[in-house]
């Protein structure tokens, strides 16, 4: 796979500002509570690391990993969990943190999965939202940026496991 042509969509500064705003809203909504924040590996790891350092609410972290087949750009129809959390969430306030909502399949699956364990509350925070690409109805509670179609890389997001390390978010010009 050769180097892809890409253009900056959101700069580090724009991301930082938006992450701060999201964290401020979350801190306000959960004031006085103790949150369990669940990051979806691998894509959400950078966003989550930045987000929790701006959140002013006591929190614990855990991670879940969902596999989607292939290493290209199309999300798999079938969601399979390959790593579950290790924290008991019954009666707790839980916030799932995701890099990007695309078809909505992953988050719909995870919300159902975690709801069965009876958390006190369960919400979702996604840095990016490609609303038009939904295959199933799904609304995140906190969204950083809503955008049209386009494949994004950087700031944790990959294309075939590449580009996660880039500090800005890029759109790939041609897949």
Q: Should residue 156 be labelled a site residue for Mg ion when binding is judged by CB under 5 A? A: no
CB of 128 to ligand IMP, least distance (A): 7
> Which residue is catalytic, options 99, 102, 129, 158?
102
Is there a contact between 26 and 2 (Cβ–Cβ < 8 Å)? no
Name which of Mg ion, ligand IMP, none residue 168 binds, using a CB cut-off of 5 to 8 Å depending on partner kind.
none
Using DSSP bridges, classify how beta strands 121-129 and 142-146 pair: parallel, antiparallel or unpaired: parallel
Work out the number of other CB atoms within 10 angstroms of the CB of residue 51. Answer: 24
Greatest pairwise CA separation for the chain in angstroms: 50
Is there a contact between 101 and 132 (Cβ–Cβ < 8 Å)? no
Binding site for ligand IMP (CB under 6 A): 40, 43, 75, 98-106, 151-153, 157-158
Using DSSP bridges, classify how beta strands 151-153 and 169-172 pair: parallel, antiparallel or unpaired: antiparallel
Cis peptide preceding 44, ω within 30 of 0: no
Give the nearer residue to Mg ion in terms of CB position, either 4 or 79: 79
Give the nearer residue to Mg ion in terms of CB position, either 93 or 99: 99
Whether 102 is catalytic: yes
Name which of ligand IMP, Mg ion, none residue 103 binds, using a CB cut-off of 5 to 8 Å depending on partner kind.
ligand IMP
Give the nearer residue to ligand IMP in terms of CB position, either 29 or 41: 41
Separation CA 29–CA 23 (nearest Å): 10
The binding track of 40-79 with respect to Mg ion, each residue x by CB under 5 A or -, is: ---x------------------------------------
- Find how far residue 124's CA is from the centre of its chain: 8
Footprint on this chain of Mg ion (rule: CB under 5 A) = 43
The catalytic residue positions are 102
């Amino acid at each position: 796979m050769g180097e892809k042509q890409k253009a900056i969509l959101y700069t580090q500064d724009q991301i930082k500002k938006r992450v701060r705003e999201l964290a401020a809203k979350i801190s306000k909504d959960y004031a006085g509570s103790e949150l369990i924040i669940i990051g979806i590996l691998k894509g959400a790891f950078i966003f989550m690391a930045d987000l929790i350092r701006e959140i002013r609410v006591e929190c614990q972290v855990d991670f879940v990993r969902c596999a989607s087949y292939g290493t290209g750009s199309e999300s798999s129809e079938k969601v399979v969990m390959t790593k579950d959390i290790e924290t008991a969430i019954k009666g707790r306030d839980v916030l799932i943190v995701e890099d990007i909502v695309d078809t909505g399949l992953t988050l719909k699956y995870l919300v159902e999965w975690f709801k069965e364990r009876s958390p006190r509350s369960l919400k979702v925070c996604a840095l990016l939202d490609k609303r038009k690409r939904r295959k199933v109805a799904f609304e995140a509670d906190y969204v950083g940026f809503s955008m049209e179609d386009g494949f994004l890389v950087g700031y944790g997001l990959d294309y075939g496991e590449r580009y996660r390390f880039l500090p800005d978010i890029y759109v790939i010009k041609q897949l």
